Chain A
Amino acid sequence: MKSDSRMSLRILARDPILLALVFVIFVSIALFVVYPLVMVFLASFQVRGDWTLDNYGLMVERRLYRTALWNSLSVGAVVGILGVVIGYVAAFVLTRLDVPFRRTLHYLTILPIISPPFVSAVSILFLFGFNGLITRQMLGLQDFNIYGFHGVVWSQVFTFAPIAYLSLRGVLASISPTLEDAALNMGASRWQTFWKVTFPLSLPGVASAFLIVFIESMADFGNPLVLAGAAFPMLAPQAYLEITGSFNLSRGATLAVILLLPSLTAFAIQRYYLSKRQYITVTGKPSTSTSKIVSPAMKWLLYSFVVLFGLIVVLFYGVIVVGALTQVWGFNYTFTLDHFAYVFQVGFKTVTDTLIIAIISTPVSGLLGMIIAFLIVRRQFPGKSAMEFGSILSYAVPGTVVGIGYILAFNGPPIILTGTLIILVLAFVFRYVPVGIQSGIAILRQIDPSIEEAAQNLGASTLQTFRKVTLPLIAPAFFTGLVYAFVRAMTAISAAIFLVSANWNLMTVQILNQVGSGRLGVAAAYSILVIVIVLAAIGLIGLFVGRMTRHSSMVRF
């Protein structure tokens, strides 16, 4: 063992660029992922500079905090279950059944992933709020209250079911339909076949999807802030209020720690337990044969369920568009461009700020992700598994925790970054790099390492090998990483809200402010602008990555 790590050190010493890369990445992870988390922990054990357990005592004593924890957990669990049910049905229908408009429904179902966090909350207010189109104007209800548990749950289900859908889609597509055929062939009924073959095979994937949605729900900040209301405290907004409302950093930090624990647990289970239990039943090309285990009646029932979800997506976005283009929702539906005019005049600096931050952090995050994946899969160096763990850790850390950690870590010496562009870029880069890393690792593990050895053998340095061979080969992961980084940079709020300043502000924060002051029309206009920018950027990134790898399309990996 010892001689082994000595040997990898020797190799490292011979390749100065590799050595420098590894060093810089380790230092950055330590500084921008681990250090802020440590600061949160330390702060939670301090009151005005003295070490104490008082903060945790308060958590147990005060009903407010106990309720907040319970509310966050129960919302997370319910959203997890509902999200997985919707995701499973949608994934099953859209991958396994022969139904019309599969592509359209697929894109509709994943649309919520790329929209800013308040779209569904604002739509719900438009439809079910005090002046809601459905509750007030159509049903004439005077005292309907959307705030609280059900408001948050519905909004989050709409936001996160698409994530469950995407992850279950991969799981279901990897279960060979021939297994179902075999069960039917041996005399099992359709119902038995589903419960005895298909479902058990997808169970690890289902559990995994549940945990992912649970983590997202726990970490969610925007929906609870708009829809929870004063009577329904939840952890993430409560931590924010402690800090911005009562300037109580250490109590905010304690709430952050409590928020972090369930997320980290769920992440650990998902990553170290479930991911090893996924069954891969296909070898070679994924089968496209359609499933025979549902009766025609069942098929159309499930299909209508998916169509319904698609229609709700259309409705929510339709409402946003109408809301952005009418005077005052609920009172005056005359067409106006005032809200957009506001965005492009008063609020235009926020738009450029957001774009600058996203345009800087996207390539950095995308490249960093690919480099880390490359190092982890292809190079030997001491501390490799620590690097892997540290670099994907932030995936499980709720944004609120990151935000609080960054204020605690970078507000004073040795590193002062508060109020700068850099702090936002760093937060985004390290928070959103794990998705690129994970898909980079997955693709790289399938590529014959001798292709990269061949490049080295012909004289290419580590960097040249990476740029000329590895990167083009893992272009799909690069695309995923870039798109994810950009979308998140445009739509992030939970960490960013602690880090914005007068100099550098974000559109999402503006949306939140507009919602807070009741100007839903302006919020809707901002949201539409974000969606348009994101869609345009995805197209551009696709073009760029495609050009970078012009020959790969001819090759099947």
Chain B
Amino acid sequence: MSQPVKIKGLNKVFPAADQKGSEVHAVRDVNLFVEPGELVTLLGPSGCGKTTLLRMIAGFEEPSSGEIYFGDRLMNNVPANGRDATMVFQSYAIFPHLDVFDNVGFGLQLKSISRSETNQRIERVLELTGLTGMARRAPSQLSGGQQQRVALARAIVMEPQVLLFDEPLSNLDAKLRDQMRVEIRDLQQRVGITSLYVTHDQIEAMSISDRIVVMNGGIIEQIGTPSEVYARPASRFVADFVGRSNFLPAIVGDGGKLQIGAAHLDNPYPGDAARGERVTVLIRPEALHLTRDVAALRGRILRAMFLGATAEYLVDVEGIGEVIVDQANPGAEGLFQVGETMGVNLAPNAAHIVSDTV
């Protein structure tokens, strides 16, 4: 049965590699609760401790302090082979000396399950992952995407308490990545296993998660649904890492309204900012809109790029400074020219106050 995962005060300090080097505090005071059947991604830049956290949950690394629970069971002293938390490795780690069938069946064959049930479960999962007919192929005879599916099949056939993914798509090309992303999400929903998914790709994180954990330097900066993390990032770091950002100076006005240059905006989440306070706000590039009509703000185009679905402009806005604007459907109105002065509109509720620290 699928279990919640509870992590309390988890730390990992790697010892210095040699006398001169210093310790690496790879994971710092992490607290996390993953609901049964939920898919949570760990998102963050390279070296922020995502893999280390995952490997501690799998039992490959020993925490320096803190506790890991599956359900009510403390897992710290359970060895890796007894955790029932199967992992899809970044390098797939397919057994090169076994064929697809034996790879997928490896874990089941170690258990005392009848042969016929083992075979049935393998067949079922092969079908689920689109590998039927390849059962007797050697790993070297598979494409990257197929190998990825074998790694996935091998993990889910165990019907584990927890599924762990360490950047499972990073070795695939862009097209296949998109496709596999959908497949993994689909599969996870169908089997309903509590999952932790590591990635440093924010699009991937947004598209498959129930919730996202944004990490930086071993610390959790924010936990939230994809839209929360995107629209209301807890810090400048999160805002910057999850999507592209304009950080603009603003003043808090009456009733929590924000004054940005000459424009006034509603702010449904005023937080504890006092009236008259100077703050930094985040405005996403797609929340800005250029128009030839009169608008709240005016600016001159410094750079224009046609990107197909959108056009990206760098605009010098009067009283504010340089901002990036993503304009949808540029085919309809044509590309504006560098040097043109335009009106700049802000979408309602577009601004969100960010602090520089957590």
A binding-site residues for B, Cβ under 8 Å? 1, 3-4, 7, 10-11, 14-15, 448, 450-451, 453-461, 464-465, 468-469, 472-473, 549, 551-552, 554-557
C-alpha gap A459/B85 in the complex (Å): 9
Q: Which residues of B in the span 89-145 have a Cβ within 8 Å of any Cβ on A?
A: 89-91, 93-99, 106-107, 110-111, 138-141
C-alpha gap A543/B146 in the complex (Å): 32
Known pairs A3-B64, A4-B15, A555-B139. 19 more at Cβ < 8 A? A7-B64, A15-B79, A448-B93, A451-B96, A453-B80, A453-B93, A454-B94, A454-B154, A456-B81, A457-B58, A459-B107, A460-B107, A464-B110, A469-B95, A472-B97, A549-B97, A551-B98, A551-B138, A557-B96
Residues of A near B158 (CB, < 8 A) are 458-459
Residues of B near A469 (CB, < 8 A) are 95, 97
Q: Are A451 and B110 in contact (CB under 8 A)?
A: no
Q: Are B98 and A454 in contact (CB under 8 A)?
A: no
CB distance from B153 to the nearest CB of A (A): 12
Q: Are B111 and A555 in contact (CB under 8 A)?
A: no
Q: Are B62 and A460 in contact (CB under 8 A)?
A: no
Q: Which 9 A-B pairs have the closest CB atoms?
A: A458-B107, A454-B93, A450-B93, A555-B96, A554-B138, A472-B97, A552-B97, A551-B97, A456-B80
CB distance from B52 to the nearest CB of A (A): 14
Q: Are A473 and B87 in contact (CB under 8 A)?
A: no
Q: Answer whether A454 and B81 are a contact pair too, CB < 8 Å, given A7-B62, A459-B111, A554-B140.
A: no
Q: Are B82 and A459 in contact (CB under 8 A)?
A: yes
30 chain-A/chain-B pairs, Cβ below 8 angstroms: A3-B64, A10-B62, A11-B62, A450-B90, A450-B93, A451-B93, A453-B58, A453-B93, A454-B89, A454-B94, A454-B154, A457-B58, A457-B81, A457-B85, A457-B86, A458-B86, A458-B107, A458-B110, A459-B158, A460-B81, A460-B106, A465-B81, A468-B106, A472-B97, A473-B97, A551-B96, A552-B96, A552-B97, A555-B138, A555-B140
CB distance from B80 to the nearest CB of A (A): 5
- Max chain B Cβ within 10 angstroms of own Cβ: one of A453, A552, A556: A453
0/1 string, B161-203, CB within 8 A of A gives 1: 0000000000000000000000000000000000000000000
C-alpha gap A10/B154 in the complex (Å): 30
C-alpha gap A431/B300 in the complex (Å): 82
CB distance from A7 to the nearest CB of B (A): 5
Q: Are B89 and A453 in contact (CB under 8 A)?
A: yes
Residues of A near B107 (CB, < 8 A) are 458-460
- Interface check B60, CB cutoff 8 A: yes
Q: Which residue of B lies closest to A455 (CB)?
A: B106
Q: Are A450 and B82 in contact (CB under 8 A)?
A: no
CB distance from A109 to the nearest CB of B (A): 32
Tell me which of A1, A453, A460, A472 contacts B60 (CB under 8 A).
A453
Residues of B near A552 (CB, < 8 A) are 96-97
0/1 string, B33-72, CB within 8 A of A gives 1: 0000000000000000000000000111010100000000
Q: Which residue of B lies closest to A457 (CB)?
A: B87
Residues of A near B97 (CB, < 8 A) are 469, 472-473, 549, 551-552, 555
Q: Which residue of A lies closest to B151 (CB)?
A: A454
Residues of A near B329 (CB, < 8 A) are none
**Number of A-B residue pairs at CB separation under 8 A:** 93
Residues of A near B79 (CB, < 8 A) are 14-15, 456
Q: Which residue of B lies closest to A15 (CB)?
A: B79
Residues of B near A10 (CB, < 8 A) are 62
C-alpha gap A450/B94 in the complex (Å): 9
Residues of A near B154 (CB, < 8 A) are 454, 458
CB distance from A20 to the nearest CB of B (A): 15
CB distance from A194 to the nearest CB of B (A): 39
Chain B at the A interface: mostly helix, strand, loop or mixed?
loop
C-alpha gap A454/B99 in the complex (Å): 15
CB distance from B161 to the nearest CB of A (A): 12
C-alpha gap A454/B139 in the complex (Å): 15
Residues of A near B139 (CB, < 8 A) are 555
Q: Which residue of A lies closest to B105 (CB)?
A: A458
C-alpha gap A173/B135 in the complex (Å): 38
Residues of B near A457 (CB, < 8 A) are 58, 60, 80-81, 83, 85-87
- Interface check B337, CB cutoff 8 A: no
Q: Which residue of A lies closest to B96 (CB)?
A: A555
Residues of B near A549 (CB, < 8 A) are 97
- Interface check B77, CB cutoff 8 A: yes
Q: Which residue of A lies closest to B82 (CB)?
A: A459
Residues of A near B93 (CB, < 8 A) are 448, 450-451, 453-454
Q: Answer whether A461 and B95 are a contact pair too, CB < 8 Å, given A450-B89, A453-B89.
A: no
Q: Which residue of A lies closest to B19 (CB)?
A: A1
0/1 string, B339-350, CB within 8 A of A gives 1: 000000000000
CB distance from B253 to the nearest CB of A (A): 54
Q: Which residue of B lies closest to A465 (CB)?
A: B81
C-alpha gap A461/B86 in the complex (Å): 14
Tell me which of B15, B64, B96 contacts A1 (CB under 8 A).
B15
Tell me which of A453, A458, A473 contacts B96 (CB under 8 A).
A473
C-alpha gap A7/B63 in the complex (Å): 9
Q: Are B95 and A455 in contact (CB under 8 A)?
A: yes
C-alpha gap A551/B62 in the complex (Å): 34
Q: Answer whether A451 and B95 are a contact pair too, CB < 8 Å, given A1-B15, A15-B79, A458-B154.
A: yes
CB distance from A463 to the nearest CB of B (A): 11
Q: Which residue of B lies closest to A469 (CB)?
A: B95
Q: Are A454 and B80 in contact (CB under 8 A)?
A: no
Residues of A near B62 (CB, < 8 A) are 7, 10-11
